[in-house]
Structure 1
Amino acid sequence: MNFYGPNRPGPGRIAGYGWLVSELALRVPMPRRLSLVSDHHERRSDPEWEVFRSEQWPGEAVFDHLMFAIKNEGIDLRVLHEVTKVADPSEISQPLAGTTGLFARRLWFFWEWLSNERLDLPDLGKVKYEPALNPDEYFAIEFGNRSARHKIIDNLPGTPAFCPLVQRTSRLDQLIARQLPTRAREVVEKAPQHIVSRAAAFLLLEDSKASFAIEQERPEPQRAARWARAINEAGSQQLSQSELERLQQVVLQDARFVKMGVRNEGGFIGGHTRDGKTPVPVHISARHKDLADLLEGIALYEGRALEGGVDPMVVAAALSFGFVYIHPFEDGNGRLHRYLLHHVLARGGFNPAGLVFPISVVVHRRIKEYSEVLKSVSGPMMEFIDWQPTEQGNVEILSDTAVFYRFFDSTMHAEFVADCVRETVEQHLPKEIDYIERYDRFKSSVDAILDMPARKVDLLRGFLEQGNGKLSSLALGKEFSALTQKEVALIEKAYEVAWSLA
């Protein structure tokens, strides 16, 4: 057995998905957590391994380990898909014949769903319908189509063209239980509408600038404002390839050196050797011939998952990260990836009307964590992509790679996005509204003392903030030398009252 996963936690044999990947030489990354059947009478768990007792060894056949995996390790669509390409269908259909157990029916359903080929089995008779995904373990749609053949309810959030899965975790359940949409509405409803409107405008522009900053770009104000307007319209248009191409044009003002639209050649993220000729990729994008199908799959996933009641934060994470892994354009993918977070949240009715959560601001602050989340999928798949450099300094992909982009575990992505939304709703949004309310109180007090342009009031507030509520001798000697001692005292008192400095 050619096993390339983590060190075994003790003597024993690899089972389930790990066995299938190794024994069948499947070119997919190992699942993040593996199963070991111990040589001893031992049962335990750790973050990388689930250890089973010796008598729980499933057997020596592909069917045995498929059943073991689906029963004990959940659903790994990548591994299951690759098994359908190399295993003899009769090795699956024969032991399935006459069985009506839940895990056998799930195996049967997933085999045909992934391969688009029927096994040599008759349709089932009168058997109770069961879900393809256990809704206690995965985020699934509430009401799926019923497959009379398998007596399985297709509650998958996507289609065979694109279907990342998100496991239910205590962290995700806790974040969803915080009812963040309700909290956001409560914050907004407590403030006057004109305050909310100003906060929304500021946060929108701040998010636009942060999205460029993540790409290590410093756009001109007009460019940032133009992208902010696009973000503000997120969710208003149906997601499609043409809509994504339109948004790329909004992102890239100067397209003289970029081939616009969906790629018709390979793509990668990384650099080149010093001569500028040989690619040094850290991520390889989907093959260009798979792009149309993958992008259609993304659009179908959004509609199916949201209409099926999957939490919008979960849908936003799986869809947006799936898009950036696919990387369909030569340039602009990163900002469109973050745009899709806004798009899905808006389509899912998550945001208060007229308000965009500045998620990119939080992502920029947590850029190291964001990078690790990205690498959780892109890193492990790199060694399984065969490619060669082109004369133009690009990559030519030599192997079938679509499975990497269609099916991946998006649990880590969902946890990250949901926590960014939490930070936005519970900290960033109320902080901005609170600031504007305090600033307005301060400015109103200053206006009652003397006539001063808004720009000067802003400068005044800045000096007071730097001086912890006191105007420095430098400020009084220059910009505000015309103030009397009485006016200074009144202004400092106004600032103290507005910002509760005592």
Structure 2
Amino acid sequence: MIKNRFSQNLSTFHGRVLPEKEMMLSGYSALIDSYKLKVPLPEKLSVISKFHRRYENEQWSIYTPRHIPNASLSGHLTFALRYEGIDLAILNALFNIIDSKEIEKWVQQEPIGKYSRRIWFLYEWLTTKKLKLTDAIAGNYVDILDSDQYYIGLSKPSKRHRVRNNLPGVRDFCPLVRRTQKLDAYIKHDLRSIAFKKAGIIHRDVLARASAVLLLKDSQASFAIEGEHPGRNRAERWGRAIGQAGLTPLTIEELLRLQEIVIGDTRFVKLGFRKEGGFIGIHDRATGAPLPDHISARWQDLQILIKGLIQTENLLKDSNMDAVISAAILAFGLVFIHPFMDGNGRIHRYIIHHVLADHEFAPKGLIFPVSAVILDRIYEYKNILEAYSRPRLEFQEWKPTENGNIKVLNNTIDLYRYYDATRQAEFLYDCVHETIVKVLPKEIQFLQKYDKMKLAINEQFEIPAYKADLLIQFLEQNKGTISKRAQTKEFKFLTDKELKTLEKLYNNIFNS
């Protein structure tokens, strides 16, 4: 039995300061407290005030005395589903410790209740245990996820529970994304149509050249995010792989192939899924002990998690889920799992391209340089990654290994299966938006001006094409002037008057 009580002694809850002195935990906060659930807290929890004033702050939703739920498991689950939505991580942890008879009793008392039937379905879906209940024969079908609260997956009826399963994933991998004003505004803006419209009015030759430049730019940026600066051959090789995104289905074999391409020299890295622990962080300078910022999934769980991710990708492909939100769910899911010893970040960003191409979000053959935008937003990117990782560190027990790695000691698979991916989706949409409305037009405009400049040079001077390219390159590097070194070497044949004419021409075209 859960006790409903206003507590004068409760000033904080798991490190969060309560907004008032006397408050009552409700919904998920009450379930976490009563059942001592070891789960990352959702961004917002609910609490009841003694005052008749409904309000919110960054961490709490404050309800009035009229919202007080029944002091029972079913009462607080009903409150949670009604006001807080679905939190699969909390529900999964709860279902793993309660007596299944409590759910059976609730369903028997409320056989057509929309909350009891949803919890019944979620219990069996999450635990894979069938309750001792006969199939529902009455009650209107209800959705598991409220489409006003979440972006939903493909809807499939469950006759046993008389519900529609519209979860955007499968049991082994199912992050959720909440509906927000920001995401709704992006979806309404229809960036896909804008991208196709911009591409449609550009000469095909210019678009092809822009695509080639942006592809290399994205590849180089993806390495730079990892602190690497590869040679041109390696960057171009990975760029070619990115350029084929969406052509090959996402499978375990495909992920392994991509890792081999991105690593290149395999003498120093073991290819394939990890066979040991993994973390992101540093080592203590004095002791050499690991200091993790992120702990990867246990290597024993990788096959389950990656298979779940791939199944979810297939499910999302058949649904009406927005392409960018789908990409966020899958790409960030892979980097959080961190299945490889090396190459995770670049493959994570490859998956963004794969999903956008597979959903035909971008014009064929055009790769948005999302990695270049992420590189410009690197601190924001790191914060988005840490928003997932840091709250989970306290639930991961580990010990250091002799080789400076870590060994996870407890069961952590559910930390990677069920989480809120809303912040990651908003960040990715910011990056895609910037790519379409700023980066792509800027690159195309540059190429159009470049062609105009090259044509002007050819009209006035009989210079070989490669020399004209070099001349424009020097002007660009030196902000519209030709350096003294270039005047005395590569372009010593030009007169002072001709040099001034070229500089004026460049500035008129590029700075107009």
Aligned mates of 1:336, 1:262 — CA distance in 2: 13
Q: Which moved more, 1:33-42 or 1:474-483?
A: 474-483
Matched, 1:125 2:137: yes
Corresponding residue for residue 14 of structure 2: 4
Among the aligned pairs, what percent are the same residue? 43
Residue 276 to residue 242, structure 1, CA distance change in 2 (3 Å) = farther
How far apart are 1:42 and its partner, in Å?
2.6
Aligned to 2:242: 231
Question: Please, which of 336, 340, 343 is the counterpart of residue 329 of structure 1?
Answer: 340
AA partner of residue 105 (structure 1): R
The reply on whether 1:395 has 2:406 as its aligned counterpart is yes
How far apart are the structure 2 equivalents of 1:353 and 1:387? 46
Whether the aligned pair in 2 keeps the contact of 1:41 and 1:53 (CA below 8 Å) is: yes
Match of 2:116 in 1: 104
Could you say if the C-alpha distance between residues 473 and 397 of structure 1 is closer, same or farther in structure 2, counting changes exceeding 3 Å? closer
Q: Determine whether 1:257 maps to 2:272.
A: no
* Deviation per residue, 1:115-150 (Å, 9 max, x gap): 111223222113221211111211112x42211111
Alignment match of 1:359 (pick from 327, 351, 370): 370
Q: In the TM superposition, what is the alpha-carbon distance from 1:271 to its structure 2 partner?
A: 2.3
CA distance in 1, matches of 2:395, 2:36: 11
Q: Give the structure 2 partner of residue 137 of structure 1.
A: 149
Partner of 2:66: 55
Matching residue of 1:155: 166
Q: Secondary structure at the match of 1:36?
A: strand
Per-residue CA deviation, residues 204-235 of structure 1 (Å, 9 max, x unaligned), is: 00000000000000101111111001111111
Partner AA of 1:161 in structure 2 = D
What is the alpha-carbon distance in structure 2 between the residues aligned to residue 223 and residue 426 of structure 1? 29
Contact 1:195 1:433 in 2 (8 A): yes
Secondary structure at the aligned position of 1:153 is classed as strand
Question: Quick check: 1:206–1:358 contact (8 Å CA) kept in 2?
Answer: yes
* CA distances 1:75-114 after superposition (whole Å, capped 9, x unpaired): 1100000000011111222122142222222222111111
Distance 1:34 1:83 in 2: 16
Q: Name the residue aligned to 1:442.
A: 453
Select the residue among 381, 393, 406 that pairs with 1:382. Answer: 393
- The offset of 1:198, in angstroms, is 0.6
1:305: Cα distance to partner?
A: 1.0
- Please list, as runs of the form range in 1=range in 2, the aligned pairs for 1:164-243 lying within 5 A after superposition: 164-243=175-254
1:486 is displaced (CA, Å) by: 5.0
Query: TM-score, with normalisation over the residues of structure 1?
Result: 0.95
Query: What is the match of residue 338 of structure 1?
Result: 349
Q: Specify the alignment match of 1:285 in structure 2.
A: 296
Q: Which amino acid aligns with 2:26?
A: A
Number of residue pairs matched? 500
Once the 2 structures are TM-superposed, how far is the Cα of residue 277 of structure 1 from its aligned partner?
A: 5.0
**Alpha-carbon offset, residue 160 of structure 1:** 0.4
SS at match of 1:13: strand
| CA displacement at 1:323 relative to structure 2 | 0.4
Question: Which consecutive segments of 4 or more residues in structure 1 shift more than 6 A?
Answer: none
Query: Gaps spanning 5+ residues in structure 1: where?
Result: none
Over the residues paired in the alignment, what is the CA RMSD in angstroms? 2.0
Q: Summarize the Cα distance change of 1:469–1:263 in structure 2 as closer, same or farther, 3 Å threshold.
A: closer
CA displacement, residues 396-437 of structure 1 (integer Å, 9 cap, x when unaligned): 211111111001100001011111001001111111111101
**Amino acid corresponding to residue 208 of structure 1 in structure 2:** S
Q: Which residue of 1 aligns with 2:417?
A: 406
8 A contact 2:113–2:139 mirrored in 1: no
TM-score (norm 2): 0.93
CA distance in 2 between counterparts of 1:275 and 1:452 reads: 62
**Preserved contact between residue 475 and residue 481 of structure 2 (Cα < 8 Å):** yes
Structure 1 residues 490 and 322, CA gap change in structure 2 (3 angstroms): same
1:45, distance to aligned residue in structure 2 (A): 1.5
SS at match of 1:97: helix
Show CA shifts across 1:270-302 (max 9, x none). Answer: 222336753221111111111111001111111
CA contact (8 A) 1:449 1:490 kept: no
Identify the range of structure 1 (461-470 vs 109-118) with the bigger mean alpha-carbon deviation.
461-470
Amino acid at match of 2:149: E
CA-to-partner distance for each residue in 1:26-84, whole Å, 9 max, x for gaps?
Answer: 11111110101112323212221111112322133222211111111011100000000
Letter of the structure 1 residue corresponding to residue 16 of structure 2: P
Structure 2 gaps of 5+ residues are 1-9
Per-residue deviation, 1:238 = 1.2
Cα 1:216–1:470 shift into 2, 3 Å: closer
CA distance in 1, matches of 2:398, 2:32: 21
Matched, 1:451 2:462: yes
Is 1:487 the equivalent of 2:498?
yes
Offset at residue 344 of structure 1 (A): 0.9
Aligned position for 2:428: 417
2:293–2:386 CA contact under 8 A, matched in 1: no
Q: Please report how far the alpha carbon of residue 182 of structure 1 lies from its aligned counterpart in structure 2 after TM superposition.
A: 1.2
Pair 1:300-2:311 in alignment? yes
Shift of 1:499: 2.8
Q: Is the 8 A contact 1:157 1:301 kept in 2?
A: yes
1:116 pairs with 2:116: no
Which of 47, 50, 57 aligns to 1:39? It is 50
Structure 2 distance, partners of 1:110, 1:475, is: 71
Tell me the amino acid that sits aligned with residue 150 of structure 1. H
Q: What amino acid is the match of 1:166?
A: V
Q: Secondary structure at the match of 1:271?
A: strand
Contact 1:131/1:153 (CA < 8 Å) preserved in 2? yes
1:314 pairs, out of 315, 318, 325, with: 325
* Contact 2:27 2:79 (8 Å CA) reproduced: yes
Of 360-369 and 245-254, more deviation after overlay is shown by: 245-254
SS at match of 1:281: strand
Q: Secondary structure at the match of 1:50?
A: strand
Instruction: Quote the Cα distance in structure 2 between the aligned partners of 1:331 and 1:471.
Output: 43
The alignment partner of 1:86 has SS state of: coil
**Gap change, CA 1:145 and 1:236, over 3 Å in 2:** same
Change (3 A) 1:478 1:258: closer
Change over 3 Å in CA distance of 1:136–1:55 after alignment to 2: closer
Q: Does the aligned pair in 2 maintain the 1:277–1:392 contact within 8 Å? A: no
Q: How far apart in 2 are the matches of 1:391 and 1:449?
A: 70
State how far apart, in whole Å, the 2-side matches of 1:5 and 1:121 are.
40
